[in-house]
Amino acid sequence: MIEDLDHEIEIDARGLKCPEPLILVRNKMMDMQSGEVIKIIATDPSTSWDFPNFCKFLGHQMLSQEENGEEYQYWIRKK
- Return the amino acid letter for 37: V
The residues pairing with 12 across neighbouring beta strands, listed in sequence order, are: 41
| Whole-angstrom distance, CA of residue 17 vs CA of residue 37 | 23
Q: Of 9, 14, 16, 18, which one is the catalytic site residue?
A: 18
Provide the residue type at 30 as one letter.
M
Is 55 labeled as catalytic in the residue annotation?
no
Residues with a catalytic annotation lie at 18
